[in-house]
Chains A and B, each alone.
Chain A
């Protein structure tokens, strides 16, 4: 799995960027939930949700195609749902040419609904991380009563990700530098390669263990006592409450319409 480890946060001084992170987290999760609860085939509701998303992207000043361009990350998982149009019973509306497989109407409706839900949800998540610094997302989660130990653990992980990733890069480069092959000599077996990869993982583990001891000593040196403490970072302002309320409306209305129609 390869991730681009540059931070996902894109700085702007937009309205969305300035909102309390708790509002943004709640709204993003609420959006995903609303989209998930939208019944299959409620195309108007989905369209409305898409417009809500566009509004949010507009308010973020990140460019209209910002989330769309990054939204294809969930695409590979489509494989799991590919059989839906073919399996679901119902009137046939199309046959796949060549293979002569029948696609049913309810199957197609369901498949497209899954696609839309997934596509909209991932864009909401992308936007959230683009307009909110990750440490503030974590702070928001803690403020919203998520388990403190878990949130702090993620915080440490976030901090040391780059350090450990650098160690990995060094190791991989060192491995590549030592992977010269003399032509004619037999290739090293897959098993041997796997063992080398495993050895890298093993020594990474040791380094991580040792580093955590040193970090722990540094924490003790500054008075750490096992309790997790944090400063307040944000206070809810009027605009935060209003935005939260408006967002709630924008989500509930299409959802209600989708269920009624």
Chain B
């Protein structure tokens, strides 16, 4: 557990350069789509609204509440923003927040900012709203359902963001997946509770007021189509990253067991126990795998995007 940083802002140097650049490519794609979607959704209110709400998220991240000796719960905000405004507005807002944190306060690096944006902006927003919508569909329209779905969405958003971060660190060779993943998942399972509580608290306050402009992200037509595409792209992206790891560790379970044994027993030359262990460095076979999968994913995305556009057009026409 002590191998997990509490914050998800990755500084420069911790991700390998190819991984960082891939992150930027994907981030720019999502940002471009988010800009277009929010322009359709908001018209010329886009810039002042997104900007001031970004200031809100930034400031809201500073609000915390005491949990136990010394620790406190706080908000990242991607899930809340997505539930209130839709995932694309949330993406744009969180991108602005993360960009400022990196540029102005050096919280998070500049080269690795692509992944920071994807983890804390895109993943939190889409996982948050997808989980929320899914649970609501299961449990119905009531208030309890709404709050429970929001809590779960918020919690899961943080958890998946942490998992993604662990994956990126592993592929870069900074932190082996067997240690990083459980450590991140564990720590952020707790942090996610704080996220969930504050998200629900905010929604409870907001349910007494109805704002005409935004009501639970039920804003513009075409949103649904774009969501599915984005979710699909995200999943494809995560799979793309995970695949080289999967291939270089054929005997997963036994391997993890040995590792854990190593940690608990403080044994002599550690590497002798694991003769075939190789840290997933970006060596040639791994790099080509990543490149191939990434390119394939991009291709799928482009196709899906065109399909999605036609779908959303007809949805809008039918409204």
Contact = CB atoms under 8 A, between A and B. Distances in A.
> Do chains A and B make direct contact within the complex (CB under 8 angstroms)?
yes
Chain B interface size, under 10 / 10 to 19 / 20 to 34 / 35 or more: 35 or more
A47 interface: no
Contacts of A137: 103
A13 to B, nearest CB: 22
Interface residues of A: mostly helix, strand, loop or mixed? helix
B107 A73 contact: yes
Interface in B197-212: 197-206, 209, 211
Contacts of A119: 13
A119 to B, nearest CB: 8
A36 B59 contact: no
A157 to B, nearest CB: 4
Nearest to A89: B271
Interface in A188-207: 190-191, 193-207
Contacts of B202: 198-199, 201-202, 205
Contacts of A28: 110
Chain A interface size, under 10 / 10 to 19 / 20 to 34 / 35 or more: 35 or more
A259 interface: no
A199 B201 contact: yes
Interface in A146-172: 147, 149-150, 152-161, 163-165, 167-168, 171-172
Interface in B82-101: 84, 92-93, 95-97, 99-101
A134 B35 contact: no
Contacts of A225: 44
A2 interface: yes
A203 B11 CA distance: 32
Interface stretch (A16-24, A110-118, A246-254): A110-118
22 contacts: A3-B101, A90-B271, A102-B271, A115-B13, A117-B13, A118-B12, A121-B109, A122-B109, A134-B104, A149-B46, A150-B31, A150-B35, A154-B51, A157-B52, A161-B100, A165-B62, A193-B65, A195-B204, A197-B75, A199-B205, A202-B206, A204-B60
A-B pairs, 5 with minimum CB distance: A198-B201, A156-B51, A118-B13, A202-B205, A226-B44
Interface of A: 1-3, 8, 28-29, 32-33, 35-37, 70, 73-74, 76-77, 79-84, 86-90, 92, 99-102, 104, 110, 114-122, 125-126, 129, 134, 137, 147, 149-150, 152-161, 163-165, 167-168, 171-172, 190-191, 193-209, 211-212, 215-216, 219, 224-226, 228
